[in-house]
Amino acid sequence: MDDVYEIYCGLHVGKSEHHAAALNAAGERVFDKPLPQDEARLRELFTDLQQHGTVLVTVDQPNTIGALPIAVARDCGCTVDYLPGLATHKAADLYPGKSKRDAFIIAETARSMPHTLRALDRDSDVLTALKVLSGFDADLTHECTSAINRLRSLRLQIFPALQRVFPGTVPPRSRF
């Protein structure tokens, strides 16, 4: 990453609440507060930070609970990157007494060690391929579970006494 930003915002995402810490290019804190998982509050934060110049938002969770902050940051015109967990933990070791995934550590790592960041590209072919493979894996798991359940049901229908031989492995009889 050769880009230089005026504001580096680290976002430690959570299910119901995030913690954001923003540093200027000199490493001084310009923001450090918890935020609710709320689009309006996130939009307000990113808009306020842009008053200082270009903003890089770095998250520690790019999927699921991190999806809303990423979408809002992009919509506000911020650049968004991801700091992998291993890099976060190694950077946290440099700051004794800090939590392992603190928003300040994420922001400071983005500012001082930009080579540790990973781009979050919406159109990445690799990301698309991984999502397809992940979906395929989930489908296979579902199909295997369904096949096992059908076999157990057939076994019970053909020879009910097997339920005593294999306790707990056969689903309870249906009331129908």
* Cα separation, 8 vs 54, whole angstroms: 9
pLDDT of the chain, 176 residues: tens digit per residue? 457 899 999 999 888 888 999 999 999 999 999 988 889 999 999 999 999 999 999 998 887 788 888 889 999 999 999 888 777 777 777 777 655 458 888 999 899 888 888 887 665 556 656 666 777 777 888 899 999 999 888 888 888 777 666 655 545 555 54
CA angle 162, 163, 169 (to 5 degrees): 115
Are 79 and 153 within one domain? no
Q: Which residues span the domain enclosing 89?
A: 7-119
Exposure of 162 in the CB half-sphere (CA atoms within 13 A):
14
* Structural domain count, the chain: 2
The answer to pTM > 0.85 is: no
Are 73 and 134 within one domain? no
Instruction: Determine which helix (DSSP H) or strand (DSSP E) holds 9, and give its type and residue range.
Output: strand 7-12
Are 80 and 137 within one domain? no
Do residues 120 and 126 make contact, with C-beta atoms less than 8 angstroms apart?
no
Are 64 and 78 within one domain? yes
CA angle 31, 53, 16 (to 5 degrees): 40
